[in-house]
Amino acid sequence: MSKKYLIMDVDTGCDDSMALMLAAAQENFEILALTCTFGNNEVEKTTYNTLKVAQALGIDAPVASGAKRPLIDPPMDFSGGLGIAIHGADGLGNVGDTLKEPVKEKSRLVAADLMAKAIKEAPEKVTIIATGPLTNVATFLVSYPELQDKIEQIAIMGGAAYSGNMRFYAEANVGHDPEAAQIVFMSGVKKAVFGLDATMGVFITDEEREEMAKAGGETGTFLKNCLEPYAATYRRLANYPGAVLHDSLPVAWLIDESVADMHDAYIEIDLNGIQTRGCTVADFIGITGKPVNAKMAMSADRKKVIDMHIEAVKKFADRKVLK
Catalytic (active-site) positions: 246
Does position 40 interact with ligand RIB (CB under 6 A)? The reply is: yes
Residue of 46, 55, 127, 173 interacting with ligand RIB (CB under 6 A)? 173
- Residue 13 or 66 with smaller CB distance to ligand RIB: 13
Q: Is the four-CA dihedral 169, 175, 179, 181 of positive or negative sign?
A: negative
Q: Is there a contact between 136 and 111 (Cβ–Cβ < 8 Å)?
A: yes
CA-based nearest residue to 50, from 111, 137, 120: 111
Residue 91, sorted as left (phi over 0), alpha (psi -120 to 50) or beta, turns out to be left
Does position 118 interact with ligand RIB (CB under 6 A)? The reply is: no
Considering only residues 241 to 280 of the shown chain, the ones binding ligand RIB according to CB under 6 A are 246-247
- Residue 63 or 116 with smaller CB distance to ligand RIB: 63
Residue of 131, 136, 280, 293 interacting with ligand RIB (CB under 6 A)? 131
Q: Is there a contact between 212 and 224 (Cβ–Cβ < 8 Å)?
A: yes
Binds 268: which of ligand RIB, Ca ion, none (CB < 5-8 Å by kind): none
Residue of 26, 35, 39, 111 interacting with ligand RIB (CB under 6 A)? 39
Q: Terminal CA-to-CA distance of the chain, rounded, Å? A: 36
Stretch that binds ligand RIB, among 29-37, 168-176, 212-220, 306-314 (CB under 6 A): 168-176
Does position 172 interact with ligand RIB (CB under 6 A)? The reply is: yes
Give the list of residues 6+ apart from residue 211 with CB closer than 8 angstroms, or none: 310
Binds 248: which of Ca ion, ligand RIB, none (CB < 5-8 Å by kind): none
CB of 31 to Ca ion, least distance (A): 16
Hey, which residues does 296 pair with through a beta bridge? 193, 263
How long, in residues, is the chain?
323
- Residue 170 has what DSSP assignment? B
Hey, which residues does 126 pair with through a beta bridge? 5, 151
- Residue 86 or 215 with smaller CB distance to Ca ion: 86
CB atoms within 10 A of CB 169: 21
Does position 177 interact with ligand RIB (CB under 6 A)? The reply is: no
Does position 91 interact with ligand RIB (CB under 6 A)? The reply is: no
The amino acid sitting at 192 is A
- Residue 116 or 172 with smaller CB distance to ligand RIB: 172
Q: Is there a contact between 96 and 52 (Cβ–Cβ < 8 Å)?
A: yes
**What single string gives the DSSP state of each residue in 52-74?**
HHHHHHT--S-EEE--SS-SSSP
Does position 47 interact with ligand RIB (CB under 6 A)? The reply is: no
Considering only residues 186 to 245 of the shown chain, the ones binding ligand RIB according to CB under 6 A are none
Residue of 4, 7, 15, 315 interacting with ligand RIB (CB under 6 A)? 15
Binds 42: which of ligand RIB, Ca ion, none (CB < 5-8 Å by kind): none
CB of 48 to ligand RIB, least distance (A): 16
- Count how many Cα atoms sit within 13 Å of the Cα of residue 298 in the half-sphere of its side chain: 12
CA-based nearest residue to 316, from 17, 8, 50, 13: 17
Residue of 110, 157, 231, 298 interacting with ligand RIB (CB under 6 A)? 157
The amino acid sitting at 17 is S
CB of 68 to ligand RIB, least distance (A): 16
| Contacts to ligand RIB by CB under 6 A | 11, 13, 15-16, 39-40, 131-132, 157, 165, 171-173, 246-247
